[in-house]
Amino acid sequence: MISLTSPVRTRAHDWSAGLKLGGLCLASTGLFLTANPAVHLAALALTLVLYAMPGPVFLRAGLRSLRAVLPIVVILLLWHAIIGDLMAGLVITLRMVTLVALANLVTMTTPLEDLIDLIHWLTTPLRRLGLPTHLLETAIPLVIRFTPVLVARAATLAEAWRARARQRPGWRLILPLMLQALDDADHVGEALRARGGPLGPN
């Protein structure tokens, strides 16, 4: 899941989080059970239609947030071309892009509070067994929340690099991005402890 919220309100905002996540699980299972490229192309086309239905603003925001998967798509296709199995690489990349896009669609149309409530409900059996489910209930929303933040940080670092050098930044951004992520994690941990959150002493 890449994005956080939608720039426009859609009908899907009124659907329950459980219904949308259930649909995502069914779609994921269906796509993993087939290796037919035509089915995956149709699934991706249908996903793009879902993005386009709320209007051009929603479509642009959704497609913009999916740019983060493009490097992975290129690497997968190149690798499968090298090993001589390009068709398998095409199926894998189509499946990955479609599922990431569908997951992104869920987060764009589902308030974070609804996702937290759903996770809390789903972990009820584990909580009855005495397991510390509060850690999971905190970690998942944090991942959803900070993924677009890290993507934006990477874009800012890349722009700063291009403003000062002619070379492409490439792997050189990994270390500063990692340090910023660790610094953010440290600040978030301190804030949770200060508020008596799940990382604090029980």
155-165 tens-digit pLDDT = 788 888 878 87
* Cβ atoms within 10 Å, residue 54: 21
d(CA 82, CA 89): 10
Same domain assignment for residues 28 and 83? yes
Same domain assignment for residues 133 and 105? no
Domain final residue, candidates 110, 140, 158: 110
Tell me which residue range forms the domain holding 183.
112-202
Same domain assignment for residues 116 and 106? no
Same domain assignment for residues 187 and 168? yes
Contact by Cβ (8 Å): 184, 146: yes
Which token pair is 45?
């086309």
69-83 tens-digit pLDDT = 888 888 888 998 899
pLDDT of residue 199: 53
Number of domains comprising the chain:
2
Domain final residue, candidates 80, 110, 140: 110
Domain final residue, candidates 110, 131, 163: 110
Mean local confidence (pLDDT), 118-129: 83
Which of 71, 69, 73, 65 is CA-nearest to residue 152? 65
